[in-house]
Amino acid sequence: MSKYWNENTKNLEPYVPGEQPKDKQYIKLNTNENPYPPSAKVIAAIKNAANEDLRLYPDPCCEELRQTIAGYYNLTAEQVFVGNGSDEILAFSFAAFFDPGEAAILFPDITYNFYPVYADLYRLKYKLIPVDNEFTIPVERFFIQNGGIILPNPNAPTAKYLPISRIKEIVEYNCRYSERIVIIDEAYIDFGGESAVELLNDYPNLLVIQTLSKSRSLAGLRIGFALGHKDLIEGLETIKSSINSYTLDRLAIIGAIEAFKDEEYFQEIRRKIITTREYVTKELTAIGFHVIDSRANFIFISHSQIYAGELYQKLREKGVLVRYFNKPRIDNFLRISIGSEGEMGSFLRILKEIL
């Protein structure tokens, strides 16, 4: 803190990402990274693009990437926005569509911890809608006057999924009555959920945000995208172009394009992760864990015999990193990313030793 900071900055509490310790090699199940490498075609394309053209600015409009994503989802390029990870796009969305002078925005009380940070950054009022004891999002409670709604589906860190029909009810309500945007944050949708993309052409107030960090194994390349009505995309472009003309570098653009072209590999690795998740869930249930039904590449678990905070520590000592949120309602749960079969085998073995 210093006297040169402005008032808003003095009051901010930034988001804290999962730890990246360097003290030793861990089985790293704490940041929902994909255990499988990116497509070999992505790697080859990046190596090929690492050339003297790096002296030139990237395309500020990311035209080719937007065309590629549009083609993949049967949309037009005007319905696609791309950014430096989905977090940046979330931040731009809060800046573009939510208004400090308006009614409170709504999101679940248990959700992605970045939302209240964005709200504070842009001085927005927000109202937390409590999920139930099984972490289900109570759709009806969103049917109130609001300044906009944001929901992850599946939710984080609970992994709990809302069927598309329920998402539609929220979007429909806000389209008709509140006339406000609904943002569905689908960072984990590729692991078994159904995307709200199919609702896009019916609802001009729906924005769907996804990322290449999880299902396409590109956390290290920083690419996210948003899909929605062209007027919403134009709003995001307005914010982006008021901050940074070029948010995606040349290599990220190339890598992202190739990732969408390798459908076979994408299907293969997401199936593998789903299979591993189902197997791990069964094993954990067998040894007394309560595992919240997951459609993500992570699971949210608790055990009646051992406190989650203690289990987190013991796993860490034995070389397994998982995520523990020391917060009300979820302080007896651990979030475990789904690693490779081998990693999850080791995790289960170590867990059984501890128990």
What residues from 102 to 121 belong to the interface with a second copy (CB under 8 A)?
102, 117-118, 120-121
Q: Is 53 helix (H, G, I), strand (E, B) or coil?
A: helix
What is the number of alpha carbons within 13 Å of residue 355 lying toward its C-beta? 17
276 binds a second copy (CB under 8 A): no
185 binds a second copy (CB under 8 A): no
293 binds a second copy (CB under 8 A): no
23 binds a second copy (CB under 8 A): no
Nearer to a second copy, 96 or 131 (CB): 96
User: What radius of gyration, in Å, describes the C-alpha atoms of the chain?
Assistant: 20
25 binds a second copy (CB under 8 A): no
Nearest to 92 by CA among 74, 109, 114, 70: 114
Residue 344 CA to its chain's centroid (Å): 22
Q: How far is the CB of 285 from a second copy (least distance, A)?
A: 28
Nearest to 175 by CA among 108, 94, 229: 229
**Which member of 74, 76, 201, 242 binds a second copy (CB under 8 A)?**
242
How many CB atoms within 10 Å of residue 350?
17
User: What is the footprint of a second copy within residues 249-268 (CB under 8 A)?
Assistant: 249-252, 255
145 binds a second copy (CB under 8 A): no
222 binds a second copy (CB under 8 A): yes
154 binds a second copy (CB under 8 A): no
Sequence-distant (6+) residues with CB within 8 A of 127 are 104, 105, 106, 146
Using the contact rule CB under 8 A, the part of the chain among 134-142, 188-196, 232-240, 297-305 near a second copy is: 232-240
**Which member of 29, 65, 73, 84 binds a second copy (CB under 8 A)?**
84
55 binds a second copy (CB under 8 A): yes
Q: Diameter of the chain by CA atoms?
A: 59
